[in-house]
Amino acid sequence: MKEALFWEKVPDKKYIQCHLCPWNCKILNGKVGNCRVRKNIDGTLFSLNYGRNSSVNIDPIEKKPLYHVLPGTPILSIGSSGCNLHCKNCQNWEISQRFIENPPYKTSPKEILELAKRYKTPSIAYTYNEPTVFYEFTLDCSRLSNKENMLNVYVTNGYISKEPLMEIAPVLDAANIDIKGFDEKIYNVLCGGGHLEAYLEALKNWAMPENKIFIELTNLVIPGWSDDLDKTREMVRWIIDNLGPETPIHFSRYFPMYQLDAPATPLETLKKATSIAKEEGMYYIYVGNAPELGMENTICPGCNEIVIERRGYRILKNNIRDGKCLKCGYKIHGIFS
């Protein structure tokens, strides 16, 4: 355990209040917050999952998915337990929807840094479950690895308050952020709580220029939930207006998972979503979980040639040098060195 950050004692009340994310949980003594991993112990808030890792792996960075950050490199990936959302379709529900008291790995930030050095990974990802809820550990790891010129990456639902985001931003280099849906009711029901307005406000904070966090987005297209094409167009326009058309977006194919038994996403729906993104003017559009569509390649907006050719998580061709297209010199949005 470690004392948590971003909370306060509420005068004349029997609870303390956590301010890590928009839930702003009021937590009675002996109880945990919505994430299940932050506990009030005699008037002090503690992070229960500090250094308690459910998963430690070496992944290709494309698996996050991050297509514009050090393509073709390995990334040390760390997961803990708990989450501040409770999505009906969660693919890692075994670790995200509970606190794991006795995880397989107990590590310090220094040991994580040593692992990254040993396996020569140029970056570290905080992933598998929501990194916001093991914030203190990710912050300590990021500060250490930043000094060694390693990149730090969040794979996140983005549901974090502004103050903690601004605290970690100087040592956080990139993030893949989920867009769960673009309708308040859908977002609230699908995520088991949470509000679209609060999420979008958080996403604006992520994209603040002073944060210098490179962002890619993932939109899981779920039949009957997040496949309304009018909402897709609304979402794309919002992204262009608030994050910029150069923001990479991954439309991801859904398959039945956890508590949600919707059918797999039709390929035609994914094609229509990408067409909308193209029509509206987004530069970098990908489709995940559907290799048959062949939409994993990075296309240069300047000359329309393939600059990165992919098959699954493998890089077959990389025609980017010094961040620019080899053919026309167009500067490709991303982190390439």
pLDDT, residue 13, reads: 84
On whether residue 279 sits in a domain, the answer given is yes
- Give the residue, 208 or 12, on which the prediction is more confident: 208
Amino acid (one-letter) located at 66: L
Q: Are residues 43 and 85 in the same domain?
A: no
Q: Are residues 32 and 56 in the same domain?
A: no
Q: Are residues 36 and 58 in the same domain?
A: no
Q: Are residues 184 and 145 in the same domain?
A: yes
Written as six digits, the tokens of 41 are 């112990």
On whether residue 323 sits in a domain, the answer given is no
Write out pLDDT tens, residues 192-229: 999 999 999 999 999 999 999 999 999 999 999 999 99
pLDDT classification of 30: cutoffs 50, 70, 90 = very high
Q: Are residues 37 and 151 in the same domain?
A: no
Q: Above 90 in pLDDT, residue 6?
A: yes
% pLDDT > 70, the chain = 100
On whether residue 334 sits in a domain, the answer given is no
The residue from 296, 314, 332 where one domain ends is 296
Q: How far lies 67's CA from each of 115, 248, 294, 309, 312, in Å?
A: 23, 8, 14, 11, 11
Write out pLDDT tens, residues 229-281: 999 999 999 999 999 999 999 999 999 999 999 999 999 999 999 999 999 99
Q: Are residues 13 and 122 in the same domain?
A: no
Amino acid (one-letter) located at 151: L
At 102, phi and psi to the nearest 5? -125, 75
pLDDT, residue 230, reads: 98
Q: How far lies 319's CA from each of 71, 172, 287, 337, in Å?
A: 11, 27, 21, 14
Contact criterion met (CB below 8 Å) for 127 and 78: yes
On whether residue 134 sits in a domain, the answer given is yes
pLDDT, residue 12, reads: 83
Q: Are residues 112 and 128 in the same domain?
A: yes
Q: Are residues 263 and 288 in the same domain?
A: yes
Q: Are residues 60 and 106 in the same domain?
A: yes
pLDDT, residue 79, reads: 98
Written as six digits, the tokens of 92 are 């890692």
pLDDT classification of 11: cutoffs 50, 70, 90 = confident
> Domain containing 89 — which CATH number?
3.20.20.70
On whether residue 314 sits in a domain, the answer given is no
Q: Are residues 222 and 83 in the same domain?
A: yes
Q: Are residues 33 and 57 in the same domain?
A: no
How many domains would you assign to the chain? 2
On whether residue 130 sits in a domain, the answer given is yes
Q: Are residues 40 and 170 in the same domain?
A: no
Residue 277 zone, left/alpha/beta (φ > 0; ψ -120 to 50; rest): alpha
pLDDT classification of 317: cutoffs 50, 70, 90 = very high
On whether residue 327 sits in a domain, the answer given is no
On whether residue 318 sits in a domain, the answer given is no
Q: Above 90 in pLDDT, residue 123?
A: yes
Write out pLDDT tens, residues 43-58: 999 999 999 999 999 9
Q: How far lies 155's CA from each of 113, 175, 179, 217, 269, in Å?
A: 19, 6, 12, 10, 25
Q: Above 90 in pLDDT, residue 96?
A: yes
The residue range of the domain holding 8 is 2-47
